[in-house]
Amino acid sequence: MSKAQIGIYGLGTMGSALALNIAEKGFDVAVTNRETEWIADFIAEAGDLARNLHPFERLEDFVANLATPRVVLFMIPSGKPMDQMIEAVVPLLSPGDTIIDAGNADFHRTRERAAALAGQDIHFVGLGVSGGENGARHGPSMMVGGTDHSWQQLKPVLEAIAARHEGVPCVAHLGPDGAGHFVKTVHNGIEYADMQMIAEIYGLLRNGAAWTPAEISGLFAEWDKGPLKSYLIEITAEILRFHDPETGHPMVDVIKDAAGQKGTGRWTVVEAVRMGQSASTIEAAVGARSWSSEKETRQTVQARLGGAREALELDGATLADAMMAARVLGHAQGFRILAAASGEFGWQLDFARIAEIWRAGCIIRSALLDDIARAFREEPPQTELILSEAFSTRLGQTLPALRRVVSAAVAGGHAVPVMAAALQWVDTMRQGFGGANVIQAQRDYFGHHGFERLGQEGRHHGPWWA
Ligand code: 6PG
């Protein structure tokens, strides 16, 4: 056999799907897995594609059968297992080879790993892959962080397997080392916020306006034909149509209301706070998932404090505008974190390009991202999304609806943490003169911290120190 263009280590759901996608595009792929017994099953299920898949049980044989400079892609859990595999594979590699971590990894670890391997001229790529199993198999959106050398090696394969938006592959080299994993992390933060706001609207209609899941599904299906079109709205409309084969109840009614999370949303929030930023919509979404998992505590609190929620009068058009405003604000906060990290790490992230590669293949793909990409291409370049011509106009049109929905929810005792966070953020940013003067006075009063004074240079203290 000719040597394989790429090796994939890790034949779990995502690794298998990527290997099949690459093989389908005509590349030779070497494959292996820690549990060697999985390998034969994978090849047996690959059908015709098996002709481009080359299985190996020993790591040495797997590496020896890769064309040089080699590309080894790992799709394995990102913590210790990744470190163990780097240790095992590096002695088998040569200068110029590239190792890819294609899992969801903490970008700080990616930066450290890239720096540690650079001394041996081994290139380490943090590859963000979005789109779940179906995306990996038929076209993911991919965010590449690594050297130009690695990008030149990977480009033909990644462009061939990526999702396409109007023919353009949804993959880009976004910067060095951790840039790709960081952009993927923020993607997931936006994903958390978007999922939570959809769930909040579902909750308002279900619990406040007595709509059935089927009726809510109908509303979301309508939204999916217009400016709110998105993968997450589309699948929610679909999910809400299903019934439980065991009980006949709507399927959502038999699913425990306790959301899981693997950590990317939390990483986004931690990083935002570390950089002196606040991504309140993402933080609210992470917090809402955590509270949701405290099912027993919530049941106890409901029994103690009462769980009554007032009926709401809501119409689909107002909710659509509220969803649009909240979605714009959630994305705007995500891009602000990207801007902060880009500055701190010197990545020079191309925000328009990021929005472009999120237009197809990934979980947050939506019509909105097309508009965001266009807004970032505006001249002069605008990194603050809410100040762009298109989005300040859109917010002007939709914020009244978000305010009406959040007000009604709050007055009626319904929880809408993400929509409320979005509104509070924009209301704070709309105040050219806010309330932080009082904070500064307090800090000076108890700690002699000093403050800046309007219209005067230098550091000042209040008369309380006279
Ligand atoms: C994607 C998804 C994917 C996965 C995450 C989120 O872009 O394809 O974000 O990476 O769904 O792991 O997982 P949690 O919701 O469990 O944090």
* 292: its two tokens: 């949701």
| 170 has pLDDT over 70 | yes
Active-site residue, 191 included:
yes
| 1 has pLDDT over 70 | no
Which pLDDT does position 378 carry in this prediction? Answer: 84
Which pLDDT does position 37 carry in this prediction? Answer: 95
Ligand 1 lined by 261 (C-beta under 6 Å) = yes
Query: How remote is the CA of residue 235 from the centroid of ligand 1, in Å?
Result: 15
Q: What is the residue extent of each domain of the chain?
A: 6-177, 185-429, 440-465
Can you spell out the DSSP letters for 179-231?
A: HHHHHHHHHHHHHHHHHHHHHHHHHIIIIIS---HHHHHHHHHHHTTTTT-BH
- For 415-445, the pLDDT digits (tens) are 999 999 999 999 999 999 999 999 999 999 9
User: What rounded mean pLDDT belongs to the chain?
Assistant: 97
Q: Domain spanning 185-429: which CATH class is it, in words?
A: mainly alpha
At the topology level of CATH, where does 6-177 sit? Rossmann fold (3.40.50)
| Contact predicate 188/265, CB 8 Å | yes
Query: How remote is the CA of residue 418 from the centroid of ligand 1, in Å?
Result: 19
Enter the pTM of the model. 0.97
Ligand 1 lined by 188 (C-beta under 6 Å) = yes
Which of 130, 191, 232 has the most ligand 1 atoms within 8 A of CB, as the residue to mutate?
Answer: 191
Q: 164 forms bridges with which residues in the sheet?
A: 169
The closest residue, in CA terms, to atom 10 on ligand 1 is 130
Q: 66 forms bridges with which residues in the sheet?
A: 4
The closest residue, in CA terms, to atom 11 on ligand 1 is 132
Ligand 1 lined by 363 (C-beta under 6 Å) = yes
Report which ligand 1 atom has the smallest distance to the Cα of 265.
17
Q: How confident is the model at residue 159 (pLDDT cuts 50, 70, 90)?
A: very high
Query: How remote is the CA of residue 107 from the centroid of ligand 1, in Å?
Result: 15
Query: How remote is the CA of residue 188 from the centroid of ligand 1, in Å?
Result: 6
Ligand 1 lined by 196 (C-beta under 6 Å) = no
**What's the average model confidence in pLDDT over 212-227?**
98
Query: Rounded to the nearest 5 degrees, what angle is found at the Cα of 112, between the Cα atoms of 110 and 118?
Result: 100
| 123 has pLDDT over 90 | yes
- 185-429 and 6-177 share a CATH fold: no
How far apart (Å, rounded) are the C-alpha atoms in residues 407 and 402? 8
Query: How remote is the CA of residue 164 from the centroid of ligand 1, in Å?
Result: 20
Which of 18, 104, 170 has the most ligand 1 atoms within 8 A of CB, as the residue to mutate?
Answer: 104
